[in-house]
Amino acid sequence: MTSRRDGLEQNYEEIAVIGNGAYGTVYKARDLKNDGQFVAMKRIRIQNTEEGMPMSAIREIALLKQLENYEHPNVVRLLDVRHTDHTASEIRLMLVFEYVDQDLSTYLEGCPPPGLGPDRIRNILVTSQGTLKVADFGLARVYGFQMALTSVVVTLWYRAPEVILQAAYATPVDIWSCGCIFVELFNRRPLFCGQSDIDQLSKIFDILGLPPEDDWPENVSLPWNSFKAVPPQPLEQFVPEIDNDAKDLLEKLICFNPHRRLSAQEAMNHSYFRDDLDSLRTSSSLSVSEGESFETDGRSDTPSKHGGS
């Protein structure tokens, strides 16, 4: 069992506050038992309530624990779970993560403006080697066959249309979000910045065009004809730096109909990544030059298929 009571302060030395998340504070700290290596500590205060341990804590920890088995290179490591003895009104949970230098927003801030919106991408971390790591699984779920999923998933700007429309949804919603972030890597600002659900949909249709009525999900409260019929706009108008391969990939990631959106596997097989992988395989110097370009305090060029050159 990695979860123990108390003694947490002796093992970890807090250095600085990194952030205040939705339900806790994150500190940068040193693990005194492990040569003082940096760790990130997420401290969660848990009030005693009628429902016991909060759902978000259970899901986040359970999922991270499960993912530990796979040691996925793009998922942040959960090193330890501890909790204080509990007093009458609350306990404190402490999640100890591997320390990652910066989140994607900080990383992109190193790039020239147009600047970022207020909604930062905090859940995607970037190591000094340029490896992406996903963190924060508070709303994540393990897939089963009969799922009732919540409609409050992800920040509005990255939310797939079927979620906003409160239709049935599954893994394609993540591909949509990936498409939005993909654009942001080019533009350094979000693509669809809606102020409300309806506004978000309008902003999506302003660019993608209103989808054909056949693609509109069934049994949703917002009818298809409540939106203006607008034609699709050429994507390069909104993402000037995009090349043809990337544009083709993007179109398939932010496809309105979730059934026709690419799957993760299909996306990985797309020629945009294919070239990237080929050059990785053939160029032995790439890892060095890539490392250097990432270490200039996050300053880097637009993602292009040739390793940011």
Partner 1 sequence: MEGDWWKDKIAEDIYETFRIKEQLIPRYHAHSPQIWSRRIIVDWIAVIVENFSLQPTSQHLAIYLLDYFLDKLEVDEKHLYLLAIACLFISVKFEEHCDRRPCLSSVNTFLPQNTVDWYSKDELLSMELTVLNYFDWILSVPTVAHFLPYFLNVAVDETDMYNGYTIRCKATMISYVEKYAKYYSEISLQDHLFRNYNPSMIAAACIAAARIYLQLTPTWPKQLELMTDYYLEELLPCVHMMT
How many residues bind to partner 1 according to rule CB under 8 A?
A: 41
Contact flag: residue 2 with partner 1 (CB under 8 A): yes
- Percent helix / strand / coil, the chain, rounded to 5: 35, 15, 50
Residue 232 CA to residue 209 CA, distance in Å, equals: 4
SS3 string, 158-188, reads HCCHHHHCCCCCCCHHHHHHHHHHHHHHHHC
Nearer to partner 1 by Cβ, of 89 and 284: the residue is 89
Nearest approach, Cβ of residue 48 and partner 1 (Å): 4
Contact flag: residue 214 with partner 1 (CB under 8 A): no
Structural Rg of the chain based on CA atoms: 21
Strand order in the sheet with 4-5: 4-5, 78-83, 90-98, 37-47, 25-31, 12-20
List, as residue ranges, the binding site for ATP.
Answer: 42
Which helix (H) or strand (E) covers residue 10, if one does? Answer: helix 8-11
Q: Which stretch binds partner 1 (CB under 8 A): 50-58, 103-111, 118-126, 223-231?
A: 50-58
DSSP state of 263: P
Residues 232-271 that bind partner 1 (CB under 8 A): 258-259, 263, 265
Residue 283 CA to residue 270 CA, distance in Å, equals: 20
Nearest approach, Cβ of residue 72 and partner 1 (Å): 14
Binding map of partner 1 across residues 160-179, x = CB under 8 A, - = no contact: --------xxxx--------
Nearest approach, Cβ of residue 148 and partner 1 (Å): 4
Q: Which stretch binds partner 1 (CB under 8 A): 14-22, 30-38, 147-155, 229-237?
A: 147-155
Q: Which of 16, 20, 51, 118 binds partner 1 (CB under 8 A)?
A: 51
- DSSP labels for 11-78? HEEEEEEEEE-SS-EEEEEEETTTTTEEEEEEEEEEE--TT-S-HHHHHHHHHHHHHHTTT-TTB--E
Nearest approach, Cβ of residue 290 and partner 1 (Å): 32
Q: Which of 112, 113, 114, 144 binds partner 1 (CB under 8 A)?
A: 144
Nearer to partner 1 by Cβ, of 118 and 145: the residue is 145
Q: Which stretch binds partner 1 (CB under 8 A): 47-55, 109-117, 193-201, 223-231?
A: 47-55
Binding map of partner 1 across residues 75-114, x = CB under 8 A, - = no contact: ------x-x--x-x--x-----------------------
Q: Which of 15, 149, 185, 193 binds partner 1 (CB under 8 A)?
A: 149
Residue 138 CA to residue 152 CA, distance in Å, equals: 12
- Joined together, the tokens standing for residue 184 give 């942001």
Q: Which of 10, 20, 146, 285 binds partner 1 (CB under 8 A)?
A: 146
Residue 169 CA to residue 159 CA, distance in Å, equals: 11
Which spans of this chain sit near partner 1 (rule: CB under 8 A)? 1-3, 46, 48-55, 58-59, 61-63, 65-66, 81, 83, 86, 88, 91, 142-146, 148-150, 152, 168-171, 258-259, 263, 265
